[in-house]
Amino acid sequence: MLCGMEALDWPDMSEVLPALVTIVMIPLSFSIANGIALGFITYVAVKFFAGKRSDVTLGAWFLGAIFLAKFTFL
């Protein structure tokens, strides 16, 4: 199931870190949905703070905001 990890751009940590957060948080949270949600939030945050805002699509911004609101208010 981890064969997709070889396709990551390993030198670019702004791509690797969200994937690792997703992979680790799925079993730790006992929820696939929560792991993926944390991966989206991490992706948007890492790209934002790395100065690569143009790499983040409008859909990723939207989903990141929705998932952040989910964890903040629920």
How confident is the model at residue 2, as a pLDDT? Answer: 84
Q: Say if 53 falls within a structural domain.
A: yes
pLDDT in tens, the chain (74 residues): 788 888 988 999 999 999 999 999 999 999 999 999 999 999 999 999 999 999 999 999 999 999 999 999 98
Q: Domain of residue 61: give its range.
A: 12-73
Q: Say if 6 falls within a structural domain.
A: no
Q: 3-class secondary structure for the chain?
A: CCHHHHHCCCCCHHHHHHHHHHHHHHHHHCCHHHHHHHHHHHHHHHHHHCCCHHHCCHHHHHHHHHHHHHHHHC
Total number of domains constituting the chain: 1
Q: Say if 3 falls within a structural domain.
A: no
How confident is the model at residue 62, as a pLDDT? Answer: 97
Q: Say if 68 falls within a structural domain.
A: yes
CB 41 within 8 A of CB 67: yes
Q: Say if 7 falls within a structural domain.
A: no
How confident is the model at residue 1, as a pLDDT? Answer: 72
In the block, residue with structure tokens 């981890």: 2
How confident is the model at residue 46, as a pLDDT? Answer: 96
Q: Say if 44 falls within a structural domain.
A: yes
